[in-house]
Amino acid sequence: MYIHKEGRMWVIGTLLVYILLVMLFQNLIPDYNWILVILLGIPFLLIVNFFRNPARPISKLDDHTVYAAADGKIVVIEEVFESEYFNDTRKMVSIFMNPLNVHCNRYPVSGKVVYTKYHPGKYLVAWHPKSSTENERNTVVIETPFGSQILMRQIAGALARRIVSYAKTNEAAQQGEDFGFIKFGSRVDLYLPLTADIKVQLEQVVKGNLDVIAEI
């Protein structure tokens, strides 16, 4: 496991503040220093936990397998009309990430990035039905080698205030590699062809690069 590049300055800054506060309180109230070391260390450990990025290489790359693009809980599995790019009905699978989950987002399939677009918006709680169309969000579409297209939508939640995406139109997408990050609470929606065979269930907890969302 290592710290994601989006969180390195957060971790360094928090560590410096932690050290300075411990030194300050050690001089002011030395008798309770060990309690303060523990209490002040909790926020630092939470920051480290949030920005962790465990190494999870996919053991077998497969153009027909859609892996989880994020860690979290499956909160939606339904057929919906996707109006931004496809303008038709797709199977949508939504993964909700709480603040304790790994927040790195990974390419669920390999192929070519054919569309990207960032949308500013609101900060409704990530499980709100309107969050996928009204919240700050970023859309990425990948075309697989056999012609299927998968849409991924990063959605900011009530705590999230920054979506990061590295995907660029016409660039290659490699299954399992990082394509973005959402800071402090979020959701990722996957829009799949209607012929996709969904392999997860509602309320199931999944991990990026480890659990299979669907076969296409």
Question: Which residue type, as a one-letter code, is found at position 179?
Answer: F
What average pLDDT score do residues 37-52 get? 76
Among residues 94, 131, 165, 186, which one is catalytic?
A: 186
Residues 6+ apart with CB under 8 A from 181: 4, 6, 103, 104, 105, 163, 164
Q: Which two tokens stand for residue 51?
A: 């920005």
Q: If pLDDT is split at 50, 70 and 90, which confidence band does 69 have? A: very high
Is 131 an annotated catalytic residue?
no
Output the pTM of the full model.
Answer: 0.81
**70: pLDDT strictly greater than 60:** yes
pLDDT band for 160, please (50, 70, 90 cuts): low
Task: Judge whether 174 and 160 are in contact, CB under 8 Å.
Answer: no
Q: Residue 86 pLDDT more than 90?
A: yes
pLDDT averaged over every residue in the chain: 84
* Residue 102: pLDDT band with limits 50, 70, 90: confident
Write the CATH number of the domain with boundaries 65-215.
Answer: 2.70.70.10
